[in-house]
Amino acid sequence: MTDRTARVRELNLYRQHFGLVVAGTKMIEVRVKYPRLDDLAAGDTIHFRINGTDETCDVNVLRVTEDPDFEALLGGEVSTNVNRTADRDQQLSDIRSICDPEKEALGTIAIQIERAL
């Protein structure tokens, strides 16, 4: 068994998604699998911030799963856990409007989160 120290990651969120995290209704965060997130794992903490503000929210990472693209990722998750204000097709469209195909080609991760107490 490997002994691992939990880490704190700092990530930015758009205001609308930040509000869902604060309310506890966003339980899956979707990200491009950038190399800096390769070792993100259950037990880590994410310190979310709305870019350019002092508004922050900490969450615990419960699970991290990898998929080749956003379509596969959303196919494996309950869409309301990602964003209860949009259906799956709208979520895919929204994500792809932020991330170009070159970024998506790096792979994707679904991060199951819960508000830290």
Domain boundaries, the chain: 8-115
DSSP SS3 for 64: strand
31: nearest Cα among 70, 4, 84 = 70
Band of residue 3 on the pLDDT scale cut at 50, 70, 90: low
Looking up tokens 């259950």 gives: 42
Q: Which tens digit of pLDDT belongs to each residue from 45-94? A: 999 999 899 999 999 999 999 999 999 999 999 999 999 999 999 999 99
Q: Which fold has domain 8-115?
A: 2.30.130
